[in-house]
Amino acid sequence: MKKTTLLLTLSLLVFVFSCKDEDTFTNQTGIYSSNDFFMIQEGVSSAEMAISNIVHIIELAIDEEEVFYSNGITYPVITKEKLDPNQISDYPMILNLDFGEDTIQGYDNRYRAGKITANISAYWKDSLSLIEADIQNYYMATHTPNYIDGIKKEYISSCGANLRLKIRNEGLTKKLENIYYPTQFISTDSAHFSTSLGDIIVSSQRYTFYYSGYDTPEYGDDKTHILLESGGRAYDKKNNNWDWTSGMLGSSDEGLNYFSYNRNCFWLVSGNFKLKYKNLKTDREYVNIIDFGKMDQTNCDNIASYSTNGLSIVFNLP
């Protein structure tokens, strides 16, 4: 599979559907592919997933690059260069991760391609350190079995990305439930995420709070809560356009006012955000709560969901 393919075959694990309008579903039984229908809910969630995962990949390459090379894996090619060859310390540093031009299976069973280049002012856990990352033709996909006993049951969810990302260590800040946590501020403007069915343009600002594991050298016990404000435009291949915003919930009745990314998991693990979007053809506006799971869940799955017309629509994250 080439990175230019950028497959995002949308998998609905519940009672879906023939589509007459973007919020109209016919209740059926089974597992179906929505391979002719762009879901803005999945597109935006995949973009938010990709941002969190790219940050994790950069930090992992700084701290524990040997993790990438388990089981004989040879990609990515990681290089670390001092900004000035005469400087005594490792920082400022230029970090390069090259996943190659074709999709390569990685340590976390994802398939990746593309390059990440990061200019790093100081060690990422140092207060006020800044990482400026350039992500070029990046592609990641969840590799799942296409067939079970000759019947197509599961699909590959994928996402392509080109963006510039800033990651700044804010030190201890009091921004979540009146508790001080080590905090990162992460931002991107006009990031471009691609799927086989559509494109998502994203501008985003988010705070990542490390509420566990930050002071230990291993990444596996790092747990975060993330607050975000994002927005942009979405396009599908049928000339539909949307303006959209995503952000945290307005009341506790709607769910958790953040989502969580545990670095020992491969996907966002719990929490919610609110997605508001407007179809620019029809001027119709919609609101969905995107649900990644309950706070106390222990499984690290790649699914999220939202509800519409009494149906719970479940989809895969890349």
43 within 8 A of 34, measured Cβ to Cβ: no
- DSSP label at 26? -
Pairing of strands 130-142, 151-152: unpaired
Please name the residue that has the structure tokens 């017309």. Answer: 309
Q: Is 220 within a domain? A: yes
Question: Into how many domains does the chain fold?
Answer: 1
- Residue 241 maps to a domain: yes
Pairing of strands 104-105, 110-120: antiparallel
Domain containing residue 185: 11-67+120-129+161-316
Contact call for residues 219 and 264 (beta carbons, < 8 A): yes
- The verdict on residue 87 lying in a domain is no
Within-domain flag for 199: yes
- 178 domain residue, yes or no: yes
Would you state the structure tokens that stand for residue 196, as one six-digit string?
Answer: 């086989």
Q: For the whole model, what pTM was predicted?
A: 0.85
Instruction: Identify whether 145 is part of a domain.
Output: no
**What does the block give as tokens for 130?**
């800044």
For the chain, percent helix, then strand, then coil, each to nearest 5?
Answer: 10, 50, 40
What are phi and psi for residue 174, nearest 5 degrees? -105, 80
Q: What is the pLDDT of residues 133-170, one digit of tens each?
A: 999 999 998 765 455 565 545 556 789 999 999 999 99
How far is residue 11 CA from its own chain's centroid?
17
The predicted-structure confidence for 103-139, as pLDDT tens digits, reads as follows: 888 888 788 999 999 999 999 999 999 999 999 999 9
Structure confidence by residue, pLDDT tens digits, 202-246: 999 999 999 999 999 889 899 999 999 999 999 998 889 999 999
Secondary structure letter of residue 110 according to DSSP = E
Cα–Cα distance between 112 and 140 in angstroms, integer? Answer: 4
Token duo for residue 267:
């996907």
Arithmetic mean of pLDDT, 189-203 = 92
Element (H, E) at 43: helix 40-63
Label the pairing between strands 311-316 and 285-293: unpaired
Per-residue pLDDT tens over the stretch 239-270: 899 999 999 998 888 888 888 988 888 888 89
Calpha distance 305→85 (Å, rounded): 49
Residue 23 pLDDT class (50, 70, 90 cuts): very low
Domain-located, residue 106: no
